[in-house]
Structure formats: structure tokens, C-alpha cells
Structure 1
Amino acid sequence: MNQNQGPQTSDSKDDDDATLSEFLASLMDYTPTIPDELVEHYLAKSGFQCPDVRLIRLVAVATQKFVSEVATDALQHCKARQSSVVKDKRDKQQKERRLVLTMEDLSRALKEVRKFPFHIC
């Protein structure tokens, strides 16, 4: 509960419940990049069993978002590294604008993830 706002009204709670229900229903029509079977496998491996496909897809979507954010951060590290490495070879760099993602870039992106604790609200 936010300290600046009063307690949540029942209308607001009903709106939140309706929004959540709509979102969960939309997951039935969505095919995430990560297959349901793969998510189910890793959830089962960690001891979690759930017959609800909507929850499996919610985990898949959250995982997809996490991987996407790490990849985006790694790309930013890659761009920064390559722009700082080749300053005197500007002509050659202009012609070869290919980015090469390295383990160093990925490691830096993953280190940033560890700095921020995950909160489930």
C-alpha cells in the first residue's frame, strides 16, 4: 500500500482483478518464444508442478523479458567497448559496422542484474 494514498477501495480492487483476469485470458492466445514444454520442464526440475497453462506462459513471458533485457544491456556494453577500442581507425570502422558480442559484454550485463534485487509485489 502506498503511504500517500489511502487504503485501496473495492472499486479499485475490482478493476485490478478485472485487468489481471483479462491479462491471464490473453495468455491463452499468446505463444511465447520459450515453449511451454521447456518452461514446464524447468519448473518441474525445481519442484513446481502447475497444470494451469496460463501460469506456465506467464513464467515464459517473464523469462523472455529477462533474457531480452540482459541481451539489450550486453549490446550496450558491446557498442561502448567497440567505440572506445577503435578511435584511430575511424575510416575502417565506418566501413565495418558489425558488432561482435563477447562473453565479457554478457558478463558485464549479468553483473548489473545482480546489483538489483528482485521484488515480487
Structure 2
Amino acid sequence: MNHSQQATGSRHDDDAALSEFLASLMEYTPTIPDELVEHYLGKSGFQCPDVRLIRLVAVATQKFVADVASDALQHCKARQAAVVKDKRDKQQKDKRLILTMDDLSKALREYGVNVKHQEYFADSPSTGVDSTSREE
């Protein structure tokens, strides 16, 4: 088999895999509803009657959000691990992970999205809690 025949065979396999994948999107219900994806695609000037393409965008969006959330969680864990190392003498009562805008901003920055938040956002778990409940 020469090189052009291999390329044609490979392209046929790719086309078949793509067709199979697009057909599987018809039975898949993504987390992000089709109507929401259509709305935002429409706002950007893109109209498409093909539900498979709408669901493909929904799946890609879902993957992006999951990746950002996972990366933000890693930033959160790293930040809280650094705090624990600084305060080794004190027992940490609360083991909850608290996601801050800083964690989310760092994760988004890795994907080329720069987020600027207002100064009044609470980046501390104790912000907004009255002093009597802080001492408990």
C-alpha cells in the first residue's frame, strides 16, 4: 500500500469515527441544556439547526468548566496546605475546602481568561461573620 492509499484509508477511518461520535450525541443529554447553548450561540451571531452541533458545543463547554473547577480545587488545596504548614502548632478544626476568587482566577488564567474582581468580594471565610460567632 502506498502513502496516498494509507492516507485515504486513515481519512475514511477518521470520517467513520466522527460520524459515529456525532450519532452518539443524539442519544446523549449534556448537563448544559440545548436551549441555553442555542441562546448564547445566537447572541454571538451563530445559528445552527443541527442538534448534534449544539450538543457538541455543550459537551466542550462542560469539559472546560470541569477542567477549570478541577484546577481551582488544586489551587485551593495547595493554598490551604501552605496555611497548615505555617500554623503547625495550631490544630485545624475545620477541614472544609473554601474556594476563593483568587483560586478561580488562577485556574482561569491558565486558560487565557483574566478575571478582575471588585475589592468588596469576600476572599476570607471569616469575612461577613460577626465577631461573636468567630470566637466559637
With the length of structure 2 as denominator, give the TM-score of the two structures.
Answer: 0.74
Structure-1 residue corresponding to 2:55: 57
After superposition, the Cα gap between the structure-2 partners of 1:90 and 1:74, relative to the gap in structure 1 and judged at 3 Å, is: farther
Instruction: Give the root-mean-square deviation of aligned CA atoms.
Output: 1.8
Q: Identify the match of residue 43 of structure 1 among 29, 41, 44.
A: 41
Which deviates more, 81-90 or 23-32?
81-90
Q: Rg bigger for which structure?
A: 2
Name stretches of at least 5 consecutive residues in structure 1 with no aligned partner: 1-5, 116-121
Residue 27 of structure 1 corresponds to which residue in structure 2? 25
Structure with the larger RCO, 1 or 2 (CA within 8 Å, 6+ apart): 1
Counterpart of 1:103 in structure 2 is: 101
1:20-63 CA distances to partner (integer Å, 9 max, x unpaired)? 00000000000000000000000000000000000000000000
Count of residues in Structure 1 that have an aligned counterpart in Structure 2: 109
Q: Output the TM-score relative to the length of structure 1.
A: 0.83
Question: Where does residue 80 of structure 1 map in the other structure?
Answer: 78
Q: Which amino acid aligns with 1:38?
A: L
Counterpart AA for 1:69:
D
Give the fraction of aligned pairs with identical amino acids, expressed as a percent: 73
The alpha-carbon deviation at position 86 of structure 1 amounts to 2.1
Distance in structure 2 (CA, Å) of the matches to 1:56 and 1:42: 11
Deviation at 1:92, TM superposition (A): 2.8
Task: Give me the whole-angstrom Cα distance separating, in 1, the residues matched to 2:7 and 2:109.
Answer: 40
Structure 2, unaligned runs of 5 or more: 114-136
SS of alignment partner, residue 32 of structure 2: coil
What's the CA shift for 1:18?
0.2
